[in-house]
Each structure stands twice: as structure tokens, then as C-alpha cells.
Amino acid sequence: MMFILLFRTALIYALIILAMRLMGKKQLGELQPSELVSTILISNLASISIESPELPLTGSIVPVFLIVVMEILVSALCVKSPRAATLIAGTPRVIIRNGVIDQETLYELRFTINDLLEALRGKDVFYLEEVALAIVETNGTVSVRKTADAQQPKAGEALAPFPLIVDGRTDRAAMRAAGFTEKALDEACHKHGIPRCNALLVTCTASGELRVVERRMPGGGTGKGGKA
């Protein structure tokens, strides 16, 4: 019994590798929506034959290769028809242009400010003004083009900016680290003509330079930013 289970597991493993090779899979983080769905379905179907040895292997093999054929057909359709590719995979979306966040696109993509800042940090970008263009690709990754002077070190800026307000919520630990009080933060926001309750993002550099992004509701255009 154990030998049969091991044999079935090894066979399913080999078949799944073959299936992935046929579909031309990329790394998981680069999968398009249809590819991710196919991968999940294949893994679930493969587990059935391993967990239920009383079932025939064809119960998993046939559906797996049916999904492979469907994925190949969908890929071919996307190559032939840009409209079908847009319908299935979507289109890249610009989320930052010249350091300004497109909040309408941010809401449509259901990105939070934390999601955006994390993606930028993954590209070694810690200042919004360093971003000439940031695009959310159809696979969910963020591509960033830096400004021409982004590579130049900022005088006195050994640390990343402190996120004082993120998604409208005050980070008191960051405030203490930056040496800000509640009153000082309120005054800084009002200096930009933005009540603190309407601030989407407020960051402060180690040199005390403040950047404030106003929250805009969907349909209200892009956010504006300023420096203290």
C-alpha cells in the first residue's frame, strides 16, 4: 500500500512538472490571473489522487491536462486579440506620476497607502518625489521609474522618512521618533491648507522636511502634495 502511494505521488509530481512546462509557467509572483487560477486548480486536482488512493489516477490526470489545454488556448487568444488580453488580464495602471499619487486609481485597484509604500520600498524608493512614474502591472507588481536626480544622496538623509500619517491614521511611534507632537502635526497640516483629518499620507524626513498628501474621494482626481 505504501509503495502504491509513493508511486502515485511521484507520478503526479512528474505530471504536474510536465503540465507547468507545457503552459510555460513563470515565477508565481509573475502569474497573470488566468495562469494563477490554472495553477491553483491543478494543485487541488493533483492532491486528490494523492490523498485518495482508492480513486483512479485518470480522475486527476484528465482534468489537469484539460486545464493545460484551456490555458494554452487562452494564451494563444490573448496573443491574437489585444481586446481579449485586456478582458482577461486587464491593463497596466499608472499610480504615481511625478511624485503625485493618483488616488482614484489607488481606490480602483484597492491599494492601500501601506501597500504602495511597501512596493516602493521593494524598489529601494523611500521618497515619493523620487518617482517619475509608477505603474501597477497586470500581475500586481509595481514597476517604478525614478527621476533623473533620484540616485543622488540627500544631504543628511541617512534614514527613510517617518510615516506620521498613513491612510489617515496617525502613527504615534513614528511621531515620537521624528520629534513631533500632536499640536505640531496639526499645525504642519494646516500650513498646507489640509486639516489633519483629511490627510491621506504625511511623511517627515530626518531633516524635518514634511510632505503632506490630501485625501481625495473616488472621482475627485489625484491627491496633491507639498513640502514644509
Domains and CATH numbers, the chain: 2-89 (no CATH), 93-227 (3.30.240.20)
Give residues with Cβ within 8 angstroms of 171, minimum separation 6.
162, 163, 164, 165
207 versus 123: which is more confidently predicted?
A: 123
Which amino acid appears at position 223 of this protein? G
Listing from the earlier edge strand, what are the strands of the sheet with 100-101?
100-101, 93-97, 131-136, 142-146
pLDDT digits (tens, 9 = 90+) for 78-122: 888 888 888 877 788 999 999 899 989 888 888 888 889 989 999
pLDDT digits (tens, 9 = 90+) for 150-201: 655 555 555 678 888 888 888 888 888 888 888 888 888 888 888 888 888 8
Rounded Cα gap, residues 171 and 211, in angstroms: 15
Rounded Cα gap, residues 212 and 163, in angstroms: 10
Which of 221, 225, 226, 194 lies closest to 102, judged by CA? 221
Listing from the earlier edge strand, what are the strands of the sheet with 199-204?
169-170, 162-166, 199-204, 210-214, 225-227
Burial class for 128, CB neighbours closer than 10 Å (0-12, 13-18, 19+):
buried
Instruction: Give the count of alpha carbons within 13 A of 7, CB side only.
Output: 6
What pTM, to 2 d.p., does this model score? 0.63
